[in-house]
């Protein structure tokens, strides 16, 4: 750090005190400069645009966060359409930061500051489907809940000024970009002015071309790289083999899934990634299915399986002297189709059941035990493939297939790189 010149009499009195006084004066000035940098950084993040961030930081976005450059290059990006872009723009605009400049720690020409960022709880809409942009934004604007992310910012002193050079949790703050709501018309690809004839036999999706298949492999490889911290956090704490793929819709191009864990909160989720080639461009369908693995700190069981048209995830664990079994059902567009829960009191043996059209939509409704058992039996009877399981005690049809290959993170990256 460049020191302010001080008078000789002060040095003669006490060199040590003189230097200490100088550092104290400069640190206050430095704190104010760093405080201004943080405020500029927050304002830039609210823009959901690479260029404002590049102007106020020295972070190498092309090296560290190239995905952010690609995602925010609207309307040239393949990641977002107008509806999801408006969702991302508004969500980013709610970013706030809480910190105390007195907590800045200095080490020579480097400084660090712990910041708690908060953002509107985007999960209020990200698993929903809406008629239009306005209705989706209305839900967000009326959401009081906020998500918090702890971050550590690093600054360096260079050429007479401080620069922000690193954000530990930038990806976690912006992760909402890959957890987007959907527009009802999103999947209406058929021209409704010409009614589709009634099918006389089952139809299969149009097979993808080899070029489209390679595009999917490239996209999945990219997704693994930008999500490495969360995937490795799960791999190091819970399960070695956690990446897999399967051609759910039979178009010749597999969809990719992986289990991951938020390094900060420990929450687990299943990420489902689908590469959809359309006549007018490419669509990436990806969504995080929450709690798709028992928290590694809990005992219990889980199984993830598929029917001919659904993802089904069932987990069981003990909590508050009850055995709880939860089943979540998603269609292959990753939209919630059902939620079912059985609670069995360990002391009395009493069973209570509940249901919901989607786990995050309103209060759960009571459900008859017999009806619950019938729903679960229907799902397990129609199950065609088990992806991954742990201590599973559900009864499936004899001879049900199991996924042949699950991969570690490193194996999955190497596999997709082989196509590039």
Q: Encode pLDDT of 342-369 as tens digits.
A: 999 999 999 999 987 644 445 678 899 9
Helix, strand, coil share of the chain (percent; to 5): 35, 30, 35
CATH architecture for residues 15-178: Roll (3.10)
What is the distance in angstroms between the CA of the first residue and the CA of the last residue of the chain? Answer: 46
Backbone angles phi, psi at 61, to 5 degrees: -65, -35
Burial status of residue 375 (CB atoms within 10 A of its CB: 0-12, 13-18, 19 or more): middle
The predicted pLDDT at position 409 comes to: 93
The predicted pLDDT at position 8 comes to: 33
Return the domain boundaries, the chain.
Answer: 15-178, 207-417
Instruction: Give SS3 for 259.
Output: strand
State the pTM of this model: 0.48
Closest of 23, 17, 18 to residue 6, by C-alpha: 18
CA distance 360 to 127: 8
Query: Sorting pLDDT into bands at 50, 70 and 90, what band is 299?
Result: low
CA 84 to chain centre: 15
CA distance 41 to 38: 5
Region 143-148: what's the mean pLDDT?
Answer: 90
147 pLDDT more than 70: yes
Q: Encode pLDDT of 226-264 as tens digits.
A: 888 889 988 888 778 889 888 876 778 888 888 888 777
Backbone angles phi, psi at 19, to 5 degrees: -70, -40
Query: Sorting pLDDT into bands at 50, 70 and 90, what band is 191?
Result: very low
């Amino acid at each position: 750090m460049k020191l302010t010149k001080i008078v000789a009499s002060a040095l003669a009195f006490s060199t040590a005190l003189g230097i200490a006084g100088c550092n104290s004066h400069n640190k206050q000035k430095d704190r104010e400069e760093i405080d201004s940098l943080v405020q500029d950084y927050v304002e830039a993040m609210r823009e959901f645009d690479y260029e404002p961030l590049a102007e106020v930081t020295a972070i190498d976005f092309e090296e560290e966060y190239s995905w952010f450059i690609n995602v925010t290059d609207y309307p040239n990006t393949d990641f977002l359409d107008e509806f999801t872009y408006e969702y991302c723009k508004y969500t980013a605009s709610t970013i706030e930061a809480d910190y105390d400049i007195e907590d800045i720690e200095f080490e020579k020409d480097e400084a660090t500051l712990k910041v708690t960022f908060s953002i509107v709880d985007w999960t209020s809409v990200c698993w929903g489907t809406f008629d239009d942009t306005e209705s989706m934004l209305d839900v967000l604007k009326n959401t009081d809940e906020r998500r918090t992310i702890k971050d550590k910012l690093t600054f360096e002193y260079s050429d007479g000024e401080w620069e922000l050079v690193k954000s530990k949790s930038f990806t976690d703050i912006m992760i909402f970009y890959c957890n987007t709501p959907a527009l009802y018309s999103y999947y209406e690809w058929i021209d409704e002015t010409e009614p589709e004839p009634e099918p006389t036999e089952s139809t299969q999706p149009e097979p993808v071309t080899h070029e489209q298949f390679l595009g999917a492999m490239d996209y999945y490889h990219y997704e693994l790289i930008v999500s490495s911290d969360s995937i490795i956090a799960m791999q190091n704490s819970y399960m070695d083999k956690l990446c897999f793929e399967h051609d759910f819709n039979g178009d010749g191009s597999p969809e990719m899934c992986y289990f991951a864990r938020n390094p900060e909160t420990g929450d687990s989720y299943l990420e489902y990634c689908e590469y959809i080639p359309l006549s007018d461009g490419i669509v990436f369908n990806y969504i995080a299915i929450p709690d798709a693995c028992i928290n590694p700190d809990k005992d219990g069981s889980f199984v993830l399986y598929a029917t001919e048209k659904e993802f089904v995830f069932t987990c069981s664990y003990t909590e508050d002297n009850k055995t709880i079994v939860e089943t979540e059902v998603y269609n292959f567009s990753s939209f919630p189709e059902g939620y079912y829960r059985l609670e069995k009191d360990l002391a009395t043996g009493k069973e209570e059941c509940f249901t919901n059209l989607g786990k995050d939509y309103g209060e759960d409704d009571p459900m008859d035990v017999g009806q619950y058992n019938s729903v679960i039996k229907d799902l397990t009877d129609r199950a065609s493939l088990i992806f991954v399981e742990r201590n599973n005690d559900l009864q499936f049809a004899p001879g049900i297939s199991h996924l042949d290959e699950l991969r570690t993170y490193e194996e999955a990256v190497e596999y997709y790189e082989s196509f590039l």
